Amino acid sequence: MASHRNPEDPDHPEQPARITRIFERLEQEGLAQRCVRLPCRPATKEELELKHTARYVEATLAVKDLLEAGAIQESRKYNSVFLSPESTQAGFLSAGSVLEATAQVCAGEVGSAVCVVRPPGHHAEADCAMGFCLFGNVALAAAEARRQGWSQRALIVDWDVHHGNGTQNMFEEDSTVLYFSTHRYDGGSFYPGSKLGHFSSHGQGAGAGFSVNVPWDVKGGQRRGCPAPGDAEFLEAFRRVLLPICEEFKPDLVFVSAGFDAAEGDPLGGCSVTPAGYFELTRLLRDLVPGGSRLVLALEGGYNLESISSSMAACMRALLGDCGPGGVPHESMPSPKSFHSDAVEAARAHLAQFWPSLRKSADPSRVPATALEGSWSSMQLELRNHAELTGGDFSELKKRQEALLFQAGGGAERPSTLGWPASCPCSATMFPQSCCW
């Protein structure tokens, strides 16, 4: 896997040193020695075709026979992907390693597994590579677990700073896999740059409600002097959204798409999760499956060599039952910033239509963020839905909503019951998401 490289840019952030530095750190801290080393193997074509088209698998297989110039030319067919003749073997090994680790966990040979692999996988679509990713490593493992009867209800937790578009698309209509992602979104402008990562993108058909997104607006927060989300915010997303849903879903197998580009110091992410934060996130996931962890954690992104190494070590410590980095108790972590808490509550309010557990402890007097943006009719619909879900008084909520919008509009005349007066600066079709309440 270390042979996969960018022929045109040796300093590309998705570089071989990512996995070698992680292994070095795990050995330095004595963690690797406390684990069983599982053999890696290439994925089979049959396994890859569980979630990828035969045509795409063949195209990737053919890269190994190209000269370097041909591999470069092939890579230009895709979005943010580099290829070398060695990429085929690396991609097959990366996917196969996660598949093998899953088989070992499900057979009870090991309780949990950490897969230090590259290239990553969560951006790869069924028919193409994307975003440094060749195959959907975690998605393939979840599909194989279902096919083999090892799992009836798999949970995929994706804490990479980028939304895992490929993984979500692969299970968009599947109620046997719950996909949860918390990621930087910035109104859809942050990579992969689509509306798929919004909380309203919740799956389709039988899979409605089984795609769960908690998107962060980092740029919006910066405009208000609000720091980027970190430990407290990611933990709140877990505790307020993911964990209540898991009480209903009851996963029997847990996967983590463990990207560490939301870590402090990452050159691409712009967030501030610490090793102590990743330790606590892993600790919360470790005990979700009764009777054993049955957890498979696979490396995705993360491009600061120091932060990905220390973060992965923290995750492994959590799986081994150790104390967290520095011995700092999770109770001492700071409270989440209110701006980012609003994003969590907006996702929670939207998803409550699918998960009754999210209706519990909801504040019936709180105006949800979703009722403070968009057209006037859509805001009223969101407010009425919130009132019905929480038992709140719609008339009182409407008064609070109007007061908040009036305040955000800079003193404009309050709206009439028929809508906004033409003179109100908030009368645009879309209420600006940048307003702060």
Q: What is the CATH number of the domain that holds 58?
A: 3.40.800.20
Beta bridge partners of 416: 419
- The mean-pLDDT minimum among 124-138, 259-273, 324-338, 416-430 falls in 416-430
Give me the domain span that covers residue 56.
Answer: 17-332
Specify the pLDDT at position 404: 82
Closest CA to 293 of 121, 105, 96, 74: 105
Q: pLDDT at residue 165 above 50?
A: yes
Question: CA-CA distance, 230 to 228, in Å (whole number)?
Answer: 6
Quick one: 266 and 402 in the same domain? no
Specify the pLDDT at position 395: 87
Distances (CA, A) of 183 to 158, 161, 169, 356, 399: 8, 5, 16, 24, 33
User: Mean of the pLDDT values across residues 188-214?
Assistant: 97
Quick one: 127 and 255 in the same domain? yes
Buried b (16+ CB within 10 A) or exposed e, 86-124: bbbebbbbbbbbbbbbbbbbbeeebebbbbbbbbbbbbb
Specify the pLDDT at position 414: 38
- pLDDT tens for each residue of 382-436: 788 777 666 678 888 888 888 888 766 654 333 433 333 333 333 222 222 222 2
Quick one: 407 and 287 in the same domain? no
| Domain assignment of residue 143, yes or no | yes
pLDDT band at 331 (very low <50, low <70, confident <90, very high): low
* Total tally of structural domains belonging to the chain: 2
The half-sphere exposure of 312 on its side-chain side, counting CA atoms within 13 A, is 37
| Single pTM value for the model | 0.85
| Domain assignment of residue 300, yes or no | yes
Q: pLDDT at residue 164 above 90?
A: yes
Domain boundary among 282, 312, 332: 332
Domain boundary among 286, 304, 332: 332
- DSSP secondary structure code for residue 205 in this structure: G
| Domain assignment of residue 164, yes or no | yes
User: Mean of the pLDDT values across residues 39-47?
Assistant: 97
Percent of the chain with pLDDT over 70: 89
| Domain assignment of residue 419, yes or no | yes
**Active centre residues (catalytic):** 123
| Domain assignment of residue 272, yes or no | yes
| Domain assignment of residue 357, yes or no | no
Quick one: 376 and 296 in the same domain? no
| Domain assignment of residue 256, yes or no | yes
Q: Are 241 and 348 in contact (CB under 8 A)?
A: yes
- The mean-pLDDT minimum among 42-51, 85-94, 352-361 falls in 352-361
Specify the pLDDT at position 10: 94
Specify the pLDDT at position 371: 81
Q: For the chain, how big is the Rg over CA atoms in Å?
A: 22
| Domain assignment of residue 213, yes or no | yes
Q: Are 267 and 13 in contact (CB under 8 A)?
A: yes
